[in-house]
Amino acid sequence: MSHLLDEYEQEELGEGSEDEWEQVGPRNKTSVTRQADFVQTPITGIFGGHIRSVVYQQSSKESATLQPFFTLQLDIQSDKIRTVQDALESLVARESVQGYTTKTKQEVEISRRVTLEKLPPVLVLHLKRFVYEKTGGCQKLIKNIEYPVDLEISKELLSPGVKNKNFKCHRTYRLFAVVYHHGNSATGGHYTTDVFQIGLNGWLRIDDQTVKVITQYQVVKPAAERTAYLLYYRRVDLL
C-alpha cells in the first residue's frame, strides 16, 4: 500500500527542531523522535491514546513521530480485510511512501510503519466506510466486518519500546457500544446505536425515540439493513 507523508513526517525528514530528541530503542537502534500532543483534559484521559509513526530512509536514522488519537481509523477497503483484527494488522503493516523528494529535488525511496504507543482506557475504532473517489465523489463501503465482544490487542501491534510493559489486562477490551449507519448512500442515511447498560446487565438498541432490549448475539450478528461504523471498547481492568 502506498502512502503520502503528513505534515509532521515531512518535517521529520528535514532539519531538526527544538521538540526533537534522540531515542535509543531495542538492539541499540537510535531514532529521531518528536511528539505532537493534545491538551490534557478529562476527555483525553478517557479516550486519548498515541500512535508511533516511524519513517525509514536508506542511510538515515529512523524518524519517529508520537501522534495523539481519539479514534483509531481503520481502512477496510481491501478484500483481504474481513475482521477488525485484519484491519488492525493492516494498520501496522509497513508500507512504501511515494512521491517524497529531498531539498535537491531528488526522489528517494522511503517507507513508513505505524504502531500503538499508548492505549487509552476507552478505545474507539472507526471503520472507514466512506471513501472519496478520484472523481471527487464519495461512496459507502457496504461490506460486513466481523468484530468481537472481547478484543485483545496483540503485542505485535505495539511499539517495540512498550511491548513488554503492557500486561494482558491492559491490552484486553470489551465492547460496550456500536454505532451503525443505515442506507447505501454516503450522502444520506440514518444512525442507530446498541449500548451495554450496566444496571440492566444487558444490551439496549436505541433508534431515535425507540429503545428496546436485545441480546448480545443481535449486536454482533451481521444485518443487511445496517453496517457497523464506530466500535466502543472499554479496557477490562476498568470494568
Cell triple for residue 73?
481509523
CA of residue 172 relative to chain centroid, distance: 16
Q: Which letter, b or e, does each residue of 57-94 get, where b requires 16 or more Cβ atoms within 10 Å of its Cβ?
A: beeeebbbbbbbbeebebebeeeebeebbbbbebbbee
| Spatial distance between the Cα atoms of 194 and 177, rounded to a whole number of angstroms | 5
DSSP letter assigned to residue 70: S
Q: H helices of 7-108, where?
A: 7-12, 42-47, 84-91
Please tell me the predicted confidence (pLDDT) of residue 8. 40
The tens-digit pLDDT sequence of the chain (239 residues) is 444 455 444 444 443 333 554 555 555 555 667 777 778 899 999 999 999 999 888 767 778 899 999 999 999 999 999 999 999 999 999 887 776 766 677 777 788 899 999 999 999 999 999 988 777 788 888 999 999 999 999 999 999 888 877 778 889 999 999 999 998 888 888 999 999 999 999 999 999 999 999 999 999 999 888 999 999 999 999 87
DSSP SS3 for 40 = coil
Evaluate if pTM is beyond 0.75.
Answer: yes
CA distance linking residue 208 with residue 189, whole number of Å: 13
Pairing between strand 138-140 and 130-132?
Answer: antiparallel
